[in-house]
Structure 1
Amino acid sequence: MPSSLTAVSPLPFTRALLCLALSVAALLPPAGQAAPAVQSAPAASAKQAAQKVTSVEGINEYLLPNGLRVLLAPDQSKPTTTVNMTYLVGSRHENYGETGMAHLLEHMLFKGTPTMRNALAEFSRRGLQANGSTWTDRTNYFASFAANADNLDWYLKWQADAMVNSLIARKDLDSEMTVVRNEMESGENNPFRVLMSKMQAVAYQWHNYGKNTIGARSDVENVDIGRLQAFYRTYYQPDNAVLIVSGQFDEAHTLAAISQTFGKIPRPKRALPRLYTVEPVQDGERSVTLRRSGGSPLVAAMYHVPPGGAADSAAVDMLAGILGDAPSGRLYKALVETRLAASTFGFTFDMHDPGLVMLGAQLQPGADMDAARARMLETLESVKEHPITEEELERARTRWLKDWDMAYSDPQKVGVSLSESIAQGDWRLFFLARDRIRALKLADVQRVAESYLLRANRTLGTYLPTDGPQRAPASQPLNLQAALKDYKGDPDFQQAEAFDATPANIDARTQRKTLDLPNGPVKLALLPKSTRGHLVNAQLVVQFGDADSLRGQRAVSQAVGALLDNGTATMTRQQIDDRFDALRADVGFSGGGTGVSVGISTTRDNLPAAVELALEVLRTANFPEDQLDEYKRRGLASLQSARQEPTAVASQALARHRNAYPPEDLRYTPSFDEQEAEYQALTRDALVQFHDRFYGAGRIRFAAVGDFDPAGVEQALSKGLAGWKQAPAYTRVPNPYREVPAKRFDLSLPDKANAFYLAALPVQLQDTDADYAAAMLANYLLGSSETSRLWMRVREREGLSYNVRSSLSVSSYEPSSQWSMYAIYAPSNRARLETAIKEETERVLREGFTEEEVKDGIASLMNLRHLARAQDARLAGAWSDYLDLDRTFAFAAESDRRLQALTAAQVNAALRKYFKPEDFSTAVAGTFQP
């Protein structure tokens, strides 16, 4: 799965779901043979002007004379802009000795050009959420920001400059090498990722898809700087790139800006290397066995499948869901319901050339591995004897299309999705894939299953030669141009309205009221506005009880919240899932302690029905015995993994050190052994009794943002809540400030390539305090941005950590908060890392932040706050919190005003008041040499 500086999650409907594409993020400098610096021009000349090529559902394709393709995807409904530059180069294009080169270049590009030495720092100053990622067929760089023509123009100029002038220098490569090693070692801590990488290597005999995108350690550490520069000059050119701009922007202005910044880059004279390796059809089962410390057992199988652009890829997508989804999937029913496994999975890899489908299961420690493996293979390779049904296909189709709709409605996700389609051969595959799913026939799914889910086409944990091996069909050449000729997309496509996400406009557009019902009031915050795809996001919160009435109920309350949608008096878990999928609704239930929250994302016409169904689930949940059993097995398996995971071990050590409550209190932090005992002790009777006693009406709030009818929502709430008994009176469980003596924890774990550093300090601060804004900015400048002191010292200057941060978590209810710092690093660098953090924090306390730092930090934080308000789901969540606090966005506006008025003296005073290095408790976990 592509990792990245800020973490990019693959979209659920793309088959690149968990691909081990390797990350990116770093800042690096020097190279050679740089082209002339790209600067703005007053206007594009005729030789630079872009020509329109085609248009599909509001997305327009243009071509510059130098070969650069441009996709403009305007969406005026959200005031954000996302720019994505995709280069058609990934690990597939690397030669012998060059593995990891595409990923390494991604790090190096952020190091700068002769005119911009630290790109990530400038991104941070401007409040851009920027990142990049590398995978098998492409490398992309993307940034999202509150819609702003100046930031858009600047980012386009940076991309044009970086395309031809990036400094790929030896000294920057040397300084970044520890960071890249740290990233490699981070992946080595995850048994699932390592197993998947090993299986890919065995599945491919010749093709580069068998090589991990992050590369061989020897190749990366010994990379030749001349070859790296040559790789850059070969592939980072306009005729090998596609620029995507999505969200809110002026199309004419943007196209002109692109023409004048990129248009002057000459078309390269070199010819791109021709790749001609074809992976032969697999001729017998292959196997790989991985043995590592920690984690839970896994069994999995990989099968070769057609390229992402092939017509049969739609059937492969459906098979992954039919076989691997929970709880409807065949593997789930064969393994989880029979207690042979704790969970199951299934996903495919979207690739330019023939790819893979991976299916398998996570087991509990001590489980019968042979029995689980045999049942898994029997289930996967008996589709001919047990054909796919129409019901299975329709369920998978409905869920896939729902996920596609959700992604298409989000300008940020659209750019990433188009990038993946481009890597497969053409951006229009994004839409064609949807059309193919819509039109897919059961016979085609059955045919594809029988053709590819074969023993001879499998990579597993053992190898067994066999007589009369079967062969999967050889891949046929694709003719995408013929398939896409005259393709226009969905004729019902419509653009949405523009929305000004300022606090004043949010307040003006939001209907705040109380819905008075016989069994208690419901606080409402309703913000209707048009959106792409008529999407709406909502949050429902129900609260009950207090600290005394809930004593001894922590584990039970959490299990109730987790299992609400796993069955009711009239519906099974599968039926609940199917009904929500039919409503095109993503609904998540989360509960514990004194409340439960329901997040809903759906479309305008479906919101009332989704609200009614969510309330029905809340009211009539009945916690089936088999679902509780699964919950316990899944929790115990995760707990077993956590015992050997550095982040979890360090975090628990500090949490227990801070704990001041007895074991029966909701606020108590249990040990791993206590958590295991709590899982084992859970019973259905206890869950039913808790639900009967505490769940009910009385203290409820509901917030919605997006395209919906307020009257319909109020009617749905009234209907869904009618007759529900009142819950026990709610009183918030306080979390008062208390001093915690500083203490150090050195936690040794076996066989971990990466270590974790965590330090925490209780702080007597509330978000209504006069110096809250100053403390928040102080933390941002200390360690929460890519220009922060900790980042620049630990990551940039010394290259000791892939990620180092500080965080200030501030309460809205009482002066009780926490300041923390963390870093991931190689165990051998423990002393250097801790010295760097200590020296840098002492220096900033002694010298303080400069006026320039404060000015830049204010601008960056303001841009990030504007961006957050433009996200409908986050806006609905904010309104839910404000309803509980009896606030409006006037509070946010006042916070903005205070932030913008800050001086360096105020920020430094807040830092010195609250940040006390000697009072921090510290935990380090990893494999350390004695």
Structure 2
Amino acid sequence: MTQPNRLTIALLPFLIASAWTPAVQAAPTSASPSQAVVQRAALQKVTSVEGITEYRLPNGLQVLLIPDDTKPTTTVNVTYRVGSRHEGYGETGMAHLLEHLIFKGSPRHPQVWSEFNKRGFSANGSTWYDRTNYFASFAANDDNLKWYLNWQADAMVNSFIARKDLDSEMTVVRNEMEMGENNPGRILLEKTLASMYQWHNYGKSTIGARTDVENVDIANLKAFYQRHYQPDNATLIVSGKFDAAKVLNWVQTSFGVIPKPKRVLPPLYTLDPVQDGERSVTVRRVGGVPMQFATYHVVPGAHPDYAAVELLSIVLTDTPSGRLHRRLTEQNLAASVFGFSQALADPGYILLGAQLSNEQDPAKATEAMLAEIEDVARQPITEAELARAKSKWLNEWEQGFADPQHVGVALSEAVAQGDWRLFFLTRDRIRAIGLADVQRVATHTFLPSNRTLGQYVPTAIPQRAPQPARVDVVAALKDFKGQAAASAAEAFDASPANIDARTQRLSLPSGMKVALLPKSTRGQAVKVSMTLRFGDETSLAGWGEAPSALAALLDKGTQQLSRQQVQDRLDALQAELSIGGSPGRLTVQLLTRRDKLPEAIALLGEMLRQPALPADALEEVRRQALSAIDASRKEPDAVLDEALARHGNPYPRGDVRYARTFDETEADWKALQLDRVKAYHQQFLGASHAQFAAVGDLDAAATVAALTAAFGDWRSPSAYARVPDPFLTVKPTTMQLATPDRQNASLAVSLPLPLSDTHADYPALMLANHLLGGGGDSRLWNRIREKDGLSYSVYSSMQWNAEEPHSRWTAAANFAPQNRDKVLAAFHEEILRARKEGFSQAEFEAGKRGLLSFRRLSRAQDARLASGWASNLYLQRTFALSAQVDQALENLTLAQVNEALRRYIQPGQFVLGVAGDFKTP
């Protein structure tokens, strides 16, 4: 559960071509009644665990159903037990390429992304070591679910996998590689694992070797597809709101007709031997900040000892209780520490790392980090450390289990490890494991001879980690019994009218406005969004980084509780808390459970009203901020953001609307004193102009009582007036910025518009942007991403202003530097073509359906509902306005949309920039 900042390669579209076609076609649109009866009888129930039921088709397809009516959405995962681990010599990147190619369609479904966009799907795929996973979330309805199942069945055996699609996608895949090449952490991980694994494919990047990918033989790729994309190698997972009987019938109709393959997948037997000495790797590149990884071999995810590995990652790297945080971050040897472990089918790894600022000494940080990790035999894990790690891990597991989308993805990972029930077994092992076992695993794992870092040092008396071995998953699960299934929750109607009708609104004596939307949820989860507003144009000027520093310090202790006590209290309340700050605004996002919400509100009130604001924590925050600035100076996206924000900015230094340079931001952080942070808190914070919204399983009366006690008398000490941000004409320009030694480049476009979201053209321009670059079937996407294959990501968006007529249209793309001229040409051509010819009636109708579906989907997410209510309280709106916008979108005509595009999206007014390593011939 201690997941990484998944340096895994998340892949977007996939290619498809005419491949082998079975004797019986997959994914028929209908079946005769007699067929349906036979197929229904053939689908056998296997087992049921904690609300998840497993079925199996005669052809080998495993089906998992996870019904949950709490949200009007459905999520489908299709997991193939094939990843980079299954690739042979010269085949690296094949699993990833197939992921791209699958989205290129099949004879029955030739326009996959167009269908996704029309239906409002949030869909994607990812490739990892042991599996490839395809997923989609959408507004629950029979047509969406049946279509997606039919497409997945057809894609399983009838995808095109064509040479023409491979050729057109190759530049996109290269661009994805180049994006990774720009990331120092990603490159360091790739090189570290390559040194760590001598023989096993876990030492090879999932995206593959460039030479393998660029020279792949289409016949070999088809053979790889036909071998692994078969029902006996796949698991279908359906979670969320659906009719189980209908789904089982559709699965039988679509997947049941695929014959069971006659081929037998060969067993994989390669394992690395026990590592016999420290290994090292050094990466030297321009830009970024110092970073260090210490990686150690560990057991497979199915092994009983893996529970200890997960807990050790928390004990060592958690903030603020982790040993490495205390040894490195608090003692100014590193800006931050981090860690994660990989639960894999074969023996995996745990990675512990530190990020430094350029002023910190890597040698001292390395020495201290390794000493802290490998001193665990002499400084054993304590009962308190183990209890804290268990609480944190189990809280995360419970929160994930309450989310149907998360459960589907988590089960796909467990499937890749050997059995989906490992999802529950690992939880039970975490609960049951004792201190002696955790200490034993730590002692056997954190050995110098089992370490891969930055140097090689031979040892006089070699020590060895336990011999790697696979796990008998059947034996491990023979006595496993799951807990009782979670109780069913209500099927919530996420229409604007019902949202408004179900929401209770009130004001506290302090002036805080409150919206509460009680509704039963899986796991009794509740989401909170809170905003404090304060100050005015004059009083907020000249505070530098005090607003950001205050937000970062509010969870570092109170006048009554230490930093660790605050963190322990949040863990006990099963709460996730994030606080953000900007001049004149403080935002809070909170996730907790029904019975814990009143106590969480009380703790939040203490944190906001009586913060400790410790000096050592400010130094930690300062170091992290300076490290982030250093890391951004050579990144194309960050360099472009700085340049575009400063272009035409008329405000003086110190004004909250002024756009600072990297150097100015750095200077503000270096100059910031603790007394300024305290003064900012004392002068501004209060609840008189605050908004609080909670959505989920909550007791409204208890919540109001907690809010009254925490914030009812907390009045703001100073006046509030929104800082105006009037529309200003900005001179059009084109800029080119150099970011040396970056293999990925960026394009960014900005166009300020004198509009607000109450303007009559709001719906038309919203849809025009969706068709131009905002949707998955847009003009820019289809040209630059799909047709020309020049960019991994290209899009446009509208940043709407709800308070005054000053909105902004933006566009962006990333690409290889040598493709700059092609990307710019294609971008301008598509904008001009859309303005000249307009959108077609078919584009208009499909885009409108897709946009409305996206809007409905967003209202079904509790976190978005809470944020939406907080905003509506401030703007004195309700969700009735959302219904009015939906109706306005329904009533639009094609002529109105085309006219809005021509009136507002004018290339002659663009502020356009590119940043990258553009070498001249």
Question: What TM-score do you get using the length of structure 1 for normalisation?
Answer: 0.97
Instruction: State the match for 1:33 in structure 2.
Output: 20
Equivalent residue runs for 1:455-474 within 5 Å? 455-474=448-467
Instruction: State the match for 1:23 in structure 2.
Output: 10
1:802 aligned to 792, 816, 822, which one? 792
Output the CA distance in 1 between the equivalents of 2:366 and 2:77.
42
SS at 1:801 equivalent: coil
Q: 8 Å contact 1:127–1:864 — kept in the other structure? A: yes
Instruction: State the match for 2:743 in structure 1.
Output: 753
2:81 aligned to 70, 83, 88, which one? 88
Which segment drifts farther, 827-836 or 731-740? 731-740
| CA deviation vs aligned residue, 1:269-312 (integer Å, no higher than 9, x gap) | 01112211121111111000110110000111000000011111
SS at 1:758 equivalent: strand
Q: 8 Å contact 2:511–2:715 — kept in the other structure? A: no
Instruction: State the match for 2:166 in structure 1.
Output: 173
Q: 8 Å contact 1:88–1:240 — kept in the other structure? A: yes
1:70 aligned to 60, 63, 74, which one? 63
Output the CA distance in 2 between the equivalents of 1:723 and 1:266.
70
Output the CA distance in 1 between the equivalents of 2:82 and 2:14.
20
- Measured after TM superposition, the shift of residue 27 of structure 1 is 4.3
Q: 8 Å contact 2:273–2:468 — kept in the other structure? A: no
Q: 8 Å contact 1:55–1:488 — kept in the other structure? A: no
| CA deviation vs aligned residue, 1:160-203 (integer Å, no higher than 9, x gap) | 00001000111110110000000000001000110011000110
- Measured after TM superposition, the shift of residue 901 of structure 1 is 1.0
Instruction: State the match for 2:686 in structure 1.
Output: 696
- Measured after TM superposition, the shift of residue 923 of structure 1 is 1.3
Instruction: State the match for 2:585 in structure 1.
Output: 595
Instruction: State the match for 1:499 in structure 2.
Output: 492
Q: Does residue 547 of structure 1 match 2:537?
A: yes
Q: 8 Å contact 2:2–2:340 — kept in the other structure? A: no
Instruction: State the match for 2:394 in structure 1.
Output: 401
Equivalent residue runs for 1:462-861 within 5 Å? 462-485=455-478, 487-491=480-484, 493-515=486-508, 517=509, 520-861=510-851
Q: 8 Å contact 1:199–1:459 — kept in the other structure? A: yes
SS at 2:407 equivalent: helix
2:38 aligned to 26, 40, 46, which one? 46
Q: 8 Å contact 1:57–1:488 — kept in the other structure? A: no
| CA deviation vs aligned residue, 1:36-82 (integer Å, no higher than 9, x gap) | 24212335242563110000111100000100000000001011000
Are the structure 2 counterparts of residues 259 and 822 from structure 1 closer, same or farther at C-alpha, using a change threshold of 3 Å? same
Q: 8 Å contact 1:28–1:118 — kept in the other structure? A: no
Query: What value does the CA root-mean-square deviation take over the aligned residues?
Result: 1.2
- Measured after TM superposition, the shift of residue 14 of structure 1 is 4.8
Output the CA distance in 2 between the equivalents of 1:929 and 1:117.
39
Structure 1 counterpart of 2:517, one-letter code: L
Output the CA distance in 1 between the equivalents of 2:47 and 2:73.
24
2:193 aligned to 197, 200, 217, which one? 200
Which segment drifts farther, 556-565 or 266-275? 556-565
Equivalent residue runs for 1:119-268 within 5 Å? 119-268=112-261
Output the CA distance in 1 between the equivalents of 2:860 and 2:302.
34
Instruction: State the match for 2:48 in structure 1.
Output: 55
Equivalent residue runs for 1:330-479 within 5 Å? 330-479=323-472
Q: Does residue 326 of structure 1 match 2:315?
A: no
Output the CA distance in 1 between the equivalents of 2:690 and 2:755.
28
SS at 1:265 equivalent: coil
Output the CA distance in 1 between the equivalents of 2:504 and 2:570.
27
- Measured after TM superposition, the shift of residue 696 of structure 1 is 1.9
- Measured after TM superposition, the shift of residue 724 of structure 1 is 3.2
Output the CA distance in 2 between the equivalents of 1:38 and 1:804.
32
Output the CA distance in 1 between the equivalents of 2:635 and 2:877.
40
Which segment drifts farther, 178-187 or 250-259? 250-259
Output the CA distance in 2 between the equivalents of 1:726 and 1:205.
62
| CA deviation vs aligned residue, 1:553-598 (integer Å, no higher than 9, x gap) | 2421221122211122122222211111110000111122112121
SS at 2:21 equivalent: coil
SS at 2:554 equivalent: helix
Q: 8 Å contact 1:20–1:135 — kept in the other structure? A: no
Which segment drifts farther, 96-105 or 584-593? 584-593
| CA deviation vs aligned residue, 1:673-692 (integer Å, no higher than 9, x gap) | 10110000011011111111
Structure 1 counterpart of 2:38, one-letter code: A
Instruction: State the match for 1:102 in structure 2.
Output: 95
| CA deviation vs aligned residue, 1:601-624 (integer Å, no higher than 9, x gap) | 000000010011011100011311
SS at 1:703 equivalent: strand
Output the CA distance in 1 between the equivalents of 2:383 and 2:836.
70
- Measured after TM superposition, the shift of residue 726 of structure 1 is 3.1
Which segment drifts farther, 565-574 or 644-653? 565-574
Q: 8 Å contact 2:13–2:125 — kept in the other structure? A: no
Output the CA distance in 2 between the equivalents of 1:25 and 1:410.
23
Instruction: State the match for 1:5 in structure 2.
Output: none
Instruction: State the match for 1:10 in structure 2.
Output: none
Structure 2 counterpart of 1:509, one-letter code: R
Are the structure 2 counterparts of residues 199 and 643 from structure 1 closer, same or farther at C-alpha, using a change threshold of 3 Å? same
Instruction: State the match for 1:904 in structure 2.
Output: 894
Output the CA distance in 2 between the equivalents of 1:723 and 1:911.
49
Output the CA distance in 2 between the equivalents of 1:840 and 1:159.
32
Q: 8 Å contact 2:91–2:212 — kept in the other structure? A: yes
2:295 aligned to 274, 290, 302, which one? 302
- Measured after TM superposition, the shift of residue 664 of structure 1 is 1.2
Output the CA distance in 1 between the equivalents of 2:429 and 2:715.
48
- Measured after TM superposition, the shift of residue 479 of structure 1 is 2.3
SS at 2:429 equivalent: helix
Output the CA distance in 2 between the equivalents of 1:90 and 1:14.
21
Which segment drifts farther, 858-867 or 234-243? 858-867
Which segment drifts farther, 722-731 or 372-381? 722-731
SS at 2:331 equivalent: coil
Question: What TM-score do you get using the length of structure 2 for normalisation?
Answer: 0.98
Output the CA distance in 1 between the equivalents of 2:438 and 2:270.
29
| CA deviation vs aligned residue, 1:131-181 (integer Å, no higher than 9, x gap) | 000000000101000111100000000000000100011111011000000
SS at 1:521 equivalent: coil
- Unaligned runs of 5+ residues in structure 1 are 1-12
Structure 2 counterpart of 1:384, one-letter code: A
Q: 8 Å contact 1:598–1:614 — kept in the other structure? A: no
Output the CA distance in 2 between the equivalents of 1:14 and 1:268.
37
Which segment drifts farther, 312-321 or 653-662? 653-662
Structure 2 counterpart of 1:498, one-letter code: A
Q: Does residue 870 of structure 1 match 2:857?
A: no
Structure 2 counterpart of 1:470, one-letter code: Q
Structure 1 counterpart of 2:294, one-letter code: A
Which segment drifts farther, 552-561 or 798-807? 552-561
